Amino acid sequence: MPNKTIYVSDGDLPLFQRAQEIAGGKLSTAITEALRRYVEVEEGRHQGFEEVIVRVGPGLGRKQRFCAMLLAEMEQTGERDETYRVYRTRTEKFVVHHERSEAHVNTGPNAEKYRTGWRAWVGDWSANQSWTRIPADSSLRIADDLDALREIIPTGLYDLVLDAINQPTIEDLDI
């Protein structure tokens, strides 16, 4: 294997030493891994993709990161507000990030009555009621193709995705 010499400034030497420690003593492993990630991100950026970080799970959840392009987004309101975002990855897969807001649901004996509007509350708001708090949550699902995507998102959002796919990724303007 050919040798390559990398000149490191005195100020950057601690960074290289720490990278070597993390990589188990092999600086070339750390450099190769960093360069691989750099090339992947930069090539994707030139093609119109960007690094996306989303939260997944209950409450604040955990973070997940991927490289993709946002195709479409849809918000629905109701007992819980929902947001769907559909991304296309560099490997031509579709990623659906689905967020649902926190909700407070009446689970008492007259729960259906209180869902009919504010008039049901007049004169009866001290009645036997119990409430359940449903925490916010979010999920990430991956679809290999458009048929699989159709099964996991609302119809209106699927139509927006089809429209977005038919548009050029980057359009060069001669202006």
pLDDT in tens, the chain (175 residues): 678 888 889 999 999 899 889 989 888 888 888 899 888 888 888 888 888 999 999 988 899 999 899 999 999 998 889 999 999 998 999 999 999 998 877 666 665 655 666 655 555 555 566 777 888 899 999 999 999 999 999 999 999 999 998 887 677 888 8
User: How far apart (Å, rounded) are the C-alpha atoms in residues 106 and 64?
Assistant: 33
CA–CA dist 82, 156 (Å, integer):
14
Give the whole-angstrom CA distance, residue 107 versus residue 133.
Answer: 10
Regarding pTM above 0.75, the answer is: no
* Alpha-carbon span 59 to 75, nearest angstrom: 19
